């Protein structure tokens, strides 16, 4: 007897029942139902569609999944047991920019991103952990981007990836952000560099260098070619760097910028950084900068320090809403 016959299936694959399945639900046990409900409802913004209490020792909450079906969370005698690194709940959005924005909000709230075991999800999404260690992917809908692209959350217009070539080829970009050749000579080859690529052209970069403080990484140098400024490339670089840094175990990012550059002061605060310190007379001839640099009508003398932090997710149920995306 064939395996098909043993399963009670006919040659067309239809079963012994009439019609089709009426619905679908994925069920997962959690340790703290209120905490997990807050995570999925208020951070991921899934609509709660029902629930139950004390059904044979189990409590539960249902959440509607995009496109149909439900996610069920339960507490009771069964402990959570996240599966393999490729056991995923994937939530799709339309664009790579949306992935970055949502991931940045979640990381800012303390949600832990991780590298995906499947490189596909690193290219088109961001993988994060829920309070019990289940993996969730925020990904953009596949729109036929060539598979040989690299770096997370690529889009047909701009992709972001680690730079792997000679660092000197990026020096013109570095010089857009730092007027001191002596300073550049000291740190050009430090740390790692992300590049934003449009077509085959590198249009922006961001350098990350570990500091001497535990858990702290510095955004050392960043620039976007003038023709591409104002198009969101700089913000995409910062968001991508934040998510990657959190996934690698860093808990804090610092950056210093010219106190005279009003645009940069606004930019870093709008991307989640807060004022940290002022370094007086950081831009003088004594530190390798030419005299009489003026930005926006303001003499360049001092450096302003900013900091952005994130921690392991410890969400209070009454403090879980994020600002609008």
Write the CATH number for 39.
Answer: 3.10.180.10
The domain tally of the chain equals 2
Residue matched to tokens 């991307």: 271
Which residue segment(s) compose the domain that 47 sits in? 24-140
Domain for residue 93, yes or no?
A: yes
Write the CATH number for 209.
Answer: 3.40.630.30
**What's the pLDDT at 43?**
93
Inform me whether the pLDDT recorded for 3 exceeds 50. Answer: no
- Here the tokens at position 88 are 């995923």
Give the CA count within 13 Å in the CB-facing half-sphere of 299.
8
Domain for residue 323, yes or no?
A: no
Domain for residue 151, yes or no?
A: no
SS3 at position 60: strand
When pLDDT is cut at 50, 70 and 90, the band that residue 188 belongs to is very high
Q: What is the DSSP letter of 142?
A: P
- The set of residues, in sequence order, having a beta carbon less than 8 Å from that of 284 and lying 6+ positions away, is 291, 301
State pTM to two decimals: 0.64
Instruction: Please indicate, yes or no, whether residues 167 and 108 belong to a single structural domain of this protein.
Output: no
Residue matched to tokens 């939530």: 91
When pLDDT is cut at 50, 70 and 90, the band that residue 14 belongs to is low
Indicate the residue among 111, 140, 169 that finishes a domain.
Answer: 140
**What's the pLDDT at 49?**
94
Domain for residue 13, yes or no?
A: no
Over residues 63-72, the mean pLDDT reads: 94
Instruction: Please indicate, yes or no, whether residues 133 and 184 belong to a single structural domain of this protein.
Output: no
Instruction: Please indicate, yes or no, whether residues 82 and 197 belong to a single structural domain of this protein.
Output: no
By the 8 A CB rule, do 174 and 188 touch?
A: yes
Instruction: Please indicate, yes or no, whether residues 278 and 305 belong to a single structural domain of this protein.
Output: yes
Instruction: Please indicate, yes or no, whether residues 129 and 49 belong to a single structural domain of this protein.
Output: yes
Indicate the residue among 94, 109, 140 that finishes a domain.
Answer: 140
Inform me whether the pLDDT recorded for 130 exceeds 60. Answer: yes
Indicate the residue among 110, 140, 170 that finishes a domain.
Answer: 140
Instruction: Please indicate, yes or no, whether residues 183 and 117 belong to a single structural domain of this protein.
Output: no
Domain for residue 200, yes or no?
A: yes
When pLDDT is cut at 50, 70 and 90, the band that residue 18 belongs to is low
């Amino acid at each position: 007897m064939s395996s098909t016959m043993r399963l009670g299936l006919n040659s067309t694959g239809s079963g012994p029942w009439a019609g089709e399945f009426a619905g679908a639900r994925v069920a997962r046990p959690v340790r703290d139902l209120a905490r997990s409900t807050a995570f999925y409802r208020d951070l991921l913004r899934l609509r709660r569609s029902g629930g139950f209490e004390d059904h044979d020792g189990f409590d539960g909450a249902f959440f509607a999944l995009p496109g149909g079906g439900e996610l069920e969370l339960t507490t009771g005698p069964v402990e959570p047991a996240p599966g393999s690194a490729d056991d995923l709940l994937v939530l799709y959005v339309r664009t790579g920019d949306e992935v970055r924005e949502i991931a940045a909000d979640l990381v800012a709230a303390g949600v832990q991103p991780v590298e995906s075991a499947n490189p596909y999800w690193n290219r088109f999404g961001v993988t994060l952990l829920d309070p019990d260690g289940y993996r969730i992917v925020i990904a953009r809908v596949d729109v036929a981007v060539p598979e040989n692209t690299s770096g997370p959350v690529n889009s047909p217009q701009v992709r972001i990836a680690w730079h792997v070539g000679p660092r000197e080829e990026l020096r013109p970009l570095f010089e857009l952000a730092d007027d001191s050749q002596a300073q550049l000579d000291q740190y050009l080859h430090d740390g790692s560099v992300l590049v934003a690529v449009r077509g085959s052209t590198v249009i922006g970069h961001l350098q990350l260098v570990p500091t001497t403080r535990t858990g702290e990484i510095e955004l050392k140098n960043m620039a976007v070619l003038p023709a591409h400024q104002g198009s969101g490339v700089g913000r995409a670089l910062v968001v991508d760097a934040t998510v990657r840094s959190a996934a690698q175990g860093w808990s804090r990012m610092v950056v210093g910028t010219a106190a005279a550059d009003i645009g940069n002061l606004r930019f870093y605060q709008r991307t989640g950084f807060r004022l940290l310190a002022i370094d007086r007379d950081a831009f003088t001839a004594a530190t390798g900068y030419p005299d009489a640099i003026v930005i926006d009508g303001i003499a360049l003398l001092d450096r302003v320090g900013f900091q952005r932090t994130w921690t392991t997710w410890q969400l209070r149920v009454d403090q879980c809403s994020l600002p609008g995306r």
